[in-house]
Amino acid sequence: MCGIAALHHPTSVPAAAGEPMVDAIAHRGPDDTDQREVGRHAWLGHTRLSIVDLDGGRQPLRGLDGWTLVCNGEIYNHAQLRDDLGEQDYRTSSDSESALVLLARFGPAALDRLQGMWALCAAAPDGRFVAARDRLGIKPLYWAEVAGTRYFASELCAFPADVQAAVETFPPGCSWTPETGLVRFAEPVPEPVGMPDWAGMSAEIAEKSTREVLIDSVRRHLMADVEVGVFLSGGLDSSIVAAIAAADCAEAGQRLKTFAVGSADSPDLLAARAAAEHLGTEHHEVVFDAEQAIAALDDVVRSVESFDASLIRSAVPNWFLSELAADHVKVVLTGEGADELFAGYGYYHRTHADDLQDELARTLGELHGLNLQRCDRVTMAHGLEARVPFLDADVIAHAMSLPEELKALEDGVEKAHLRRAFTGWLPDELLWRRKVQFGTGAGAQDLLTPHWESRITDAELESTNEPVRTKEELAYYRIFRNALPTIRPEAVLTRFATA
């Protein structure tokens, strides 16, 4: 996991603008930093959190035909790609080098072969340049064009003040070159190649398939040359991830580390303790109160680079959780994405019973500006990498191929198919625990919302021209605007970008 920055100009790149951009995102990669001019038209910068090939994976990486690359993320199928492509063009053991080899040999269209989370920029001395981002936008990338120069960076704070007003989100599943412009190479939901026809098959067969694809994904997401832990909220999704990871660690003679957060006696904290005890993990937890939550808000809003109230509420406990986990591991797995694949939110069933799959696909495509943004920023603010095994391409393709009836409510309970798929892996009281959103289950909403309701008047909210919906959101907007004075709301909030 890392932070990247890049500049491109058709004739002469202003390389001096690049170093402050890398400095601004040093928290994303506290282990190392480097930068390089590539010919006259490009500059690439990188700050590194060392996870794979600790000694040889320094970036920018140089490869075939003059190409140089900076990449933020993890390529989980890099070993398979090495086998397919041959070792002759590899110089390191870095997983990112597979992206470089693919790009140099076959061009940007081949990047859809990368299985993982990533954003990259690459350049060659003769003027070629590519920027690209994974199909879901799990890893962040922003861009702007001012006076002929294109700027790219992992976070909004990296852009110079005179560029911020032009910044936009780089769209997931797309690549950009000076010759072709923006080109889509991958959709959020992969083509269901080789998926079975579920019609007529028993529910047990589908459950077995769901279990197998998730086990395979979690095992691949444990790939690292450092220790990997799990964020354990006590909810279904993170508990399944923890159960698989704990079993894998036990086979290797290791004990999984799990991490939980909440206000005192909050539902998530209590459920996480029960799950950790059942799984036999080395469990760590942090308890926060209203004073600590409010004191952290400036740091949280600046880190998340958003003012959406629900996002900030869930980010506050994640802030304390990431701070805790970073003292023990460099990588954590999370349960992000399961609700969007298996219809875990109540509104799916209340208002989209007739077009459930379409709505699931839509929300998957918007995750990059919502939960994934929060997940990435809060962990990376502490030099911690978060991985999302539910959002693996194979898992998405499988889950989205399942018939809608397997995702319907069962006796009012959501995700019954997923729960049954892991029968025996968790106690029934955890396996069938009802959905509680993280900001609520960890206790943040009860601490933060009343605080702002009592401190911002109705008149203040009614008189503001800012793009906010509640008093709480107005408070977060003020912090956001102080940190990023000229960033446009549509650059950071999905509700504006898709309106």
pLDDT in tens, 83-99: 998 888 888 888 899 99
Closest-CA residue to 2 (of 24, 43, 30, 23): 30
Pick the CATH number of 203-497 from 3.30.230.10, 3.40.50.1220, 3.40.50.620, 3.40.190.10: 3.40.50.620
Per-residue pLDDT, 56: 63
Residue 84's SS3 state is helix
User: Which pLDDT score, from 0 to 100, does residue 498 have?
Assistant: 44
pLDDT value at position 491?
82
Nearest alpha-carbon partner for 240 in 267, 217, 270, 263: 217
pLDDT score of 60: 94
Q: What residues of the chain score a pLDDT lower than 50?
A: 498-499
Quote the tokens at residue 75. Answer: 């390529």
In the chain, list all ranges with CATH 3.60.20.10.
Answer: 2-184
3-state secondary structure of 202: coil
Q: Which residues are catalytic?
A: 2
Separation CA 470–CA 110 (nearest Å): 45
Distances (CA, A) of 163 to 152, 169, 211, 483: 11, 14, 47, 14
Specify the domain boundaries for CATH 3.40.50.620 within the chain.
203-497
Asked if the 2-184 domain carries CATH number 3.60.20.10, the reply is yes
| Euclidean distance between CA atoms 284 and 327, whole angstroms | 11
Per-residue confidence (pLDDT) for residue 499, from 0 to 100: 36
Predicted local confidence at residue 446, as pLDDT: 82
Task: Provide the pairing of β-strand 68-75 with 61-62.
Answer: antiparallel
Q: Which two tokens stand for residue 454?
A: 């009592």
